[in-house]
Structure 1
Amino acid sequence: MNRSFLATLMLGLIVGCSVEQNSGSGATSSGTGGDASGSSGAVGEVRRITADGSSTVGPITSLVGEMFEAEHSDIQVPVTITGTGTGFGRFAAGETDISNASRKIKDSEKEKCQEGGVEFVELMIAMDGISVVVNKENDFVDALTTAQLKQIWEPGSTVKTWKDVNPEWPAEPIKLYGPGRESGTFDYFTDKINGEEGATRDDYSPSGDDNLLVTGVAGDKYSLGYFGYGYYEKNSDKLKLLKISSTDKPEDGVLPSPESIQNGQYTPLSRPVFIYVNKASLKRPEVAEFVTYYLNDGQKAIPEVGCVRISEADLKASRDALTEALK
């Protein structure tokens, strides 16, 4: 599958398995039921499998859906991207069959699922590395330590210019771009870098659309931003990727890559990503077949969108969890 087609797919411009981006493993939930949107439908009627949530996982689910649709002309898999948190809200209300998530579900979100009568199965489907990027023309920074990232992004940060981070760097204002608070990437980054989920400075440019973050960083020579590795990979001609060091030495930094993400060398910003499936939806044959496909032939889609395949052991755990949920 060529890159130009994939880019079109990810912008939601194809018919059928569309991606709509709004700015805005193996564990199962407790609950009593709850039916998501969609129906088995009469003979000849188009059946829909609805998914919403993460901007990192959305492109995977969309591409898997497009592959699945090619074999099932009577099924559509529309994918909306509103962010992990917003996606879980819709999922708990029974509005979607699948919730795409770039982090694990929170206890508060589990409680909402219980209140809505939604039981679910959690399935790890891929790995991602949150990528820290600067403008392509930036010629003075190649690596940052996690301490420097915290200095830049922590609540109450006094960092205004690059010189505030390193006296050898220019006294130019840093323009910051990052996901909004509805994002699982935001949750994970703030937890691992600032030490508390949701803790961040407020004077940055947030967006739930990672393509807008790419555009922002690409358009400002002294900018810095972060988002999933797949968005860097498909825009590598516009961005410069930074090494991240978990020690106090920038020279110990590691670039995110499929290898460093999978083997854990890219720390602490490597992470597993998930889909959560409504168990009531799994009673519909098309949903059961699609999720089974996702964990088998659908795995071919993962590197196509810049994410990393999980280990065979983790994949088996997800397949086993699905098998149990289908009983």
Structure 2
Amino acid sequence: MQGISMSNTMQRRQFSVLACVFQSIFVALFAIFGEFHNHEEDKHNRVHANYPMFQDIHTMINDAGRSLVVHCFGAYFGLAAAKVCHRQNTMVVDDDESSGHSSELFAMLAKAACTTATFMLSSLADHLGRFNMAHIQSSSLAGGIAIGAFANVILYPHHAIVVGAAAALISVVGHPKILEKRLSIQDTCGAHSLHGLPSLLAGFLSALFVLLYEPSEYGPNFVEQYSAIYPQWKGSGQPGAHRDLRTQSFFQLAGLGLTFLTAIFGGLFCGWVMNWSLLNQVQPKPSYEDASYYLNAEFSLFGNIDNSGHGLGSSNTSIHKCGRIDYRPLDIEAALRAVKRAGIGPDAIF
């Protein structure tokens, strides 16, 4: 059995090896043949500057894809609130946090074409070379978040590819439930690995790419292009513009830090408010029971049309209690019988 297991593991790792080889070839081809040409610039393009979101924490930084003000702020605001709202026995009494087999299968089919890096790293991270659906479902989106803060800065395709691969790497590596084990923060949707870590990477790389590119690399009308990206650049000619590249890089880091701290303290305050006894009415158990929040309750959509125990919730259906309402899973056959007895046609429902 051990020989068969090792053989299957090696077969699974073949995908990771091949994916790594082709990904390296892909990056090399773009690095060699991909180039930004000045004649491809359209001098007649108009630059539309939109009002920066969350201007008080934006600090005049470049964040074209809102990786900082949306993903970083949202992720760590929620995690800080989750820390305050954490219940000591939640992770002990609840075993239903995982998703079902069908949802995992559909998630894999939907995400398979998104990125190869996540599949490769997920397989390498498992001791048997298997794919972790938590990685596939979330980490395959991390590249778009990581490059969002400087997508309008990138000039060479291979830089974007490397950033996407790095985002997949930190997202997969950061996915293990360290927050739950070490900090008692319940991150049920993986906000830290999907949004938080890639957004932090985006903030640091946005500061790096300020120093990596010279303004002259943006073409003959680089003054207009560069000023649209960094309005406070000293070469823009605008009143009060005085920043050089190093200063702008520092402001990118300052924007990341300010966003992160605002999210943390704002989330802590929000969690403190949510812990008030007036608002904190959620039953501690079962926290992950779907029937407690989403599935059909004991009362019927058709009113009190059946009190014989043969309606939507039949007698052989298990009942999940949540507070004062009895919830039970939907019995399709019982529902159709109730509809037939009520004289309601299918057209009235669907």
In the superposition, the TM-score normalised over structure 2's length comes to: 0.23
Greater per-residue strand proportion: 1
**Highest RCO, 1 vs 2 (Cα 8 Å, sep ≥ 6):** 1
More helix as a share of residues: 2
TM-score, normalised on structure 1? 0.24
Greater C-alpha Rg: 2
